[in-house]
């Protein structure tokens, strides 16, 4: 990895000024090119794509291009646009590093269609792990919603119905939770369920012990493990090897009433297998922060299914997101300048 005494960093997306100052404090060897009026304004905290109706004047467009063309590193993919990333890499031979604000930024890099030489010249990193705690909380919420039968409680309250007979609820400390994927998000999920007294299983290709995980499951044994689990939490990234991984083999194996939560990528789930499992009651409740095609089509049966909770890919967002990404960028900048290994380097074969 190239080393240099200072690093010229272009800010390619809208970023709160306070986070820029934080990065300056954490790594004083960074020279930022930052012109707030050139970026698509964030509509909400962590909205990196920005306001779609925003357009630059010809002068602003030229200035934005100059930033991209003169930077050695970029904070964010330009306009979160893979096509513009490709153009930037090819027009700026001095560009050495691009940090994506998305945890799954590898898919954006893949979409840029860069050649082998370009992928070798430019280092790409993602914001994986930054969203782990918020997504882990949603996973906990989703399992609890199923365990406590949130839908029944809502329906009874809406009808002002006090049932004549009380009914049992499931308890986390009596449940086995299968975490599919033990990356940054999966580890955070495992920690929270373990703290609640659950038995935690997790899939692992490496076989290395993970804190909070009672049993490691080989990927080839996924369906067998799913058959014994009370709840399944998917945290996997979207790659060629994970697409449709949770399909008919898994959803036909699960026991009646299994709870399913997805906080990874929607493409990991074969929805044509999930929906029959919901209809048959094998999946008793599903909390989905992601779906295969986003936004979810208005005619999807998932919208109206009484045992499905849809979250519009928003569970990762929090007021701390931009600051956490800024801290991660500053850490990696120090590593880059000192010739050390960067966190979250994109695998340019699997692109995650």
The catalytic residues are 265, 294, 313
| Geometric angle at alpha carbon 135, from 132 and 136, rounded to 5° | 80
Q: Given the structure tokens 């493409």, which residue do they identify? A: 267
Burial 224-247 (b: 16+ CB within 10 A, else e): ebbeebbbbbbbbbbbeebeebbb
Pairwise CA distance, residues 124 & 119, whole Å = 8
CA 97 to chain centre: 21
Nearest CA to 290 among 318, 270, 268, 262? 262
Q: Nearest 5°: CA angle at 213, between 209 and 215?
A: 80
Q: Which of 322, 315, 330, 290 is nearest to 107 (CA)?
A: 290
Strand partners, 278: none
- Residues listed for the chain: 352
d(CA 197, CA 106): 35
């Amino acid at each position: 990895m190239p080393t240099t005494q200072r690093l010229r960093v272009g800010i390619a997306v809208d970023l709160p000024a306070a986070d820029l100052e934080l990065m300056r404090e954490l790594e004083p060897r960074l020279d930022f090119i930052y012109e707030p009026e050139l970026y698509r304004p964030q509509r909400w905290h962590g909205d990196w794509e920005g306001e779609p109706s925003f357009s630059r004047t010809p002068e602003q467009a030229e200035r934005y291009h100059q930033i991209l063309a003169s930077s050695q590193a970029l904070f964010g993919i330009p306009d979160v646009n893979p096509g513009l990333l490709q153009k930037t890499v090819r027009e700026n031979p001095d560009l050495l590093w691009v940090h994506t604000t998305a945890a799954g930024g590898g898919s954006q890099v893949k979409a840029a269609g860069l050649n082998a030489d370009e992928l070798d010249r430019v280092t790409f990193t993602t914001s994986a792990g930054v969203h782990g705690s918020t997504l882990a909380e949603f996973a906990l919420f989703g399992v609890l919603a199923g365990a406590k039968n949130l839908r029944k409680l809502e329906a009874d309250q809406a009808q002002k119905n006090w049932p004549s007979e009380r009914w049992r609820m499931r308890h986390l400390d009596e449940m086995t939770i299968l975490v599919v994927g033990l990356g940054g998000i999966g580890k955070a999920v495992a920690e929270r369920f373990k703290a609640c007294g659950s038995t935690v299983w997790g899939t692992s290709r490496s076989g290395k012990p993970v804190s909070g995980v009672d049993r490691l499951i080989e990927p080839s044994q996924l369906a067998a493990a799913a058959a014994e689990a009370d709840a399944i939490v998917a945290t996997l990234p979207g790659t060629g090897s994970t697409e449709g991984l949770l399909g008919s083999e898994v959803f036909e194996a699960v026991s009646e009433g299994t709870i399913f939560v997805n906080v990874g990528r929607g493409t990991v789930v074969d929805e044509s297998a999930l929906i029959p499992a919901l209809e048959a009651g094998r999946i008793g409740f599903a909390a989905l922060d992601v779906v295969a095609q986003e936004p979810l089509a208005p005619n999807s049966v998932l919208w109206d299914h009484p045992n499905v909770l849809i979250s519009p890919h928003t569970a990762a967002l929090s007021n701390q997101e931009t600051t956490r990404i800024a801290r991660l960028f500053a850490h990696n900048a120090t590593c880059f300048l000192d010739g050390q290994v960067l966190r979250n380097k994109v695998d340019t074969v699997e692109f995650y």
